[in-house]
Structure 1
Amino acid sequence: METGAITSYIDVAQVTLYAFWVFFALLLFYIRQEDRREGYPLEADQSGFFNRDDWFFVPPAKTFLLPHGLGEVKAPNDKRDNADRPVPGIRLGNFSGSPYLPTGENPMLDSIGPGSWAERADKPDLRHEGDPKIVPLRVAPGFSIAEGEINPVGLRVVGCDLVVGGTITDVWVDRSEQMLRYLEVVTEVGDAPRTILVPINFGVFRKIRDGSRIFYVHALRGEQFALVPGTREAESITLLEEDRITAYYGSGLLYAEPSRQEPLA
């Protein structure tokens, strides 16, 4: 027999190749299980029942320890965001994947389409030190607007209809990423002034005819700033609140004006 041969029909190279195939197959199976830890088993959007075809790849539950002593969570756990808040809308077709038409008084709060939000933890995102990442500049020592950049405090926030929604009173900074996240605004619309947050990436700074600057938000009309979801605390924001606030502005891109739901041509 030649060097490396185990028998006249099997050699080391052949065994190594077969072992690699087995290892690679097991690796693919493991990966396909791990990518189903969240969001599975799938739920049929017509019947509401779980897709039992996923049973082979859905992994057994694993316990994850959360940082900062926030307990533990198991995944997968079959929890659904709409278990306690049914979708306030009707289906536009009797087929899988058909869109929903909001039926609530304010479609921008119905958590449908671009306004969808997930049931994230109702606690602030924390830094390694254990304190909130995103806070107003007034309670973030060591942080300030860079020299030469626009300081938005005092500027007016204007909606797509050019109606002033409020005035910027502070800036919220992400102390981990060292970047601006939100603008704190006191509204000038609605029944009474409110303090709300405007995601910095939902608007642009513009100069108007008199040479002054405004913060223009195309997603909303001026009056709609009055209903932006608020925060429980004045100087911190939870993960759930972040999702709901951002979803409100996202939904405005479709629902703020009736014309935005119509065909372009």
Structure 2
Amino acid sequence: MVGNTLLGNIDLASVAIWAFWIFFAGLVYYLQTENMREGYPLVDEEGKPAPNQGPFPVPADKTYKLRDGRGEMVFPSGQRGDRGDLALAQSSRAAGSPYIPTGDPMIDGVGPAAWAPRRDIPELDAHGHVKIKPMAMLPEFKVSAGTDPRGKVVVGGDGEVIGRVIDMWIDVPESLVRYLTVDLNPEGTGKTRLIPMNMARIKGNRVVVRSLYAHNWEGVPVTKKADEITMLEEEKITAYYAGGTLYASTARLEPQI
């Protein structure tokens, strides 16, 4: 309306752009602080507060209610703590110096065999059911393509026959094989271990696991239940096999050509 002086000489375009930039800056600040709920505040190799914490402060605690009645988690102060008393020793006082295992790294879970302290409960699907189960408990599942590894011998990285595959563990909602069950004696002793499927190669009449040698198999972590595997157990089992690629024998620690 002509003569309306309510807005005076205010430039509405300038107001709009400044409002956008203020909103955008607030959004960046919010997203960055929310991203700092796990793993912060930063610490150095000795567990002391790191000097480079960054320009943004650690956010206030927020409580998350977990699904399926699995309790609550508070972040950041309630986050899972680091594993204490690791069997490692720093090779030098200089910053960034590598740490050297002081025991059996595959058993201690350090270096390539390191694992994260996940919750010691099984992973569930969208309906609250346990995701990973032995195929022997799933009559509706069958091998429809590829090679069925059951009944084949398992051979380690040193060429020794370790045992025989007797079952597979299936990720039910994904319809994928996650683990193989191996009896640690070809004749069948009942002493079993799980093999992560991505660490095994099915070749003709055998299953090859190159990361472990014959003397390593007894140390493979086991599950508390015969028909269930927890997220923590998955971490430890997979880490053990991964660690074997370096620690299965002293020869693997030497330079490779």
Residue number among 174, 177, 188 corresponding to 2:171 in the alignment: 174
Residue number among 104, 107, 129 corresponding to 2:105 in the alignment: 107
The residue aligned with 2:116 is 118
Residue number among 158, 165, 174 corresponding to 2:162 in the alignment: 165
| Alignment-mate amino acid for residue 82 of structure 2 | D
The residue aligned with 1:74 is 74
Q: Do the aligned partners of 1:115 and 1:249 also contact (CA within 8 Å) in 2?
A: yes
Q: Distance in 2 between matches of 1:44 and 1:142?
A: 51
Q: Do the aligned partners of 1:29 and 1:57 also contact (CA within 8 Å) in 2?
A: no
Q: Distance in 2 between matches of 1:93 and 1:198?
A: 37
Gaps of 5+ in 1: 208-212
Q: Distance in 2 between matches of 1:17 and 1:89?
A: 55
Deviations 1:172-219 (Å, cap 9, x if unpaired)?
A: 000121101000111139xx7621100000021113xxxxx1111111
Q: Do the aligned partners of 2:32 and 2:56 also contact (CA within 8 Å) in 1?
A: no
Q: Distance in 1 between matches of 2:55 and 2:73?
A: 21
The residue aligned with 1:87 is 86
Q: Do the aligned partners of 1:163 and 1:223 also contact (CA within 8 Å) in 2?
A: no
Which secondary structure state, in structure 1, belongs to the residue aligned with residue 25 of structure 2?
Answer: helix
Q: Do the aligned partners of 1:41 and 1:55 also contact (CA within 8 Å) in 2?
A: no
Runs of at least 4 residues off by over 3 Å: 5-8, 51-56
Q: Distance in 2 between matches of 1:126 and 1:237?
A: 11
Q: Distance in 1 between matches of 2:159 and 2:183?
A: 17
Q: Distance in 2 between matches of 1:143 and 1:98?
A: 50
Task: Note the 1:165-204 alignment, pairs <5 A.
Answer: 165-188=162-185, 194-204=191-201
Normalising by the residue count of structure 2, what TM-score does the alignment of the two structures yield?
Answer: 0.89
The residue aligned with 1:210 is none
Normalising by the residue count of structure 1, what TM-score does the alignment of the two structures yield?
Answer: 0.87
Task: Note the 1:250-265 alignment, pairs <5 A.
Answer: 250-265=242-257
What displacement does 1:144 show?
A: 1.5
* CA RMSD between the two structures: 2.2
Gaps of 5+ in 2: none
1:224 and 2:216 aligned: yes
The residue aligned with 2:139 is 141
The residue aligned with 1:49 is 48
What displacement does 1:7 show?
A: 4.6
Q: Distance in 1 between matches of 2:91 and 2:171?
A: 40
The residue aligned with 1:38 is 38
Deviations 1:141-180 (Å, cap 9, x if unpaired)?
A: 321211x421111111111101112111100000121101
Which secondary structure state, in structure 2, belongs to the residue aligned with residue 144 of structure 1?
Answer: coil
Q: Distance in 2 between matches of 1:112 and 1:239?
A: 18
| Alignment-mate amino acid for residue 80 of structure 1 | G
Q: Distance in 2 between matches of 1:55 and 1:22?
A: 18
Aligned residues: 249
Q: Distance in 1 between matches of 2:235 and 2:55?
A: 31
Q: Do the aligned partners of 1:194 and 1:226 also contact (CA within 8 Å) in 2?
A: no
Q: Do the aligned partners of 1:100 and 1:112 also contact (CA within 8 Å) in 2?
A: no
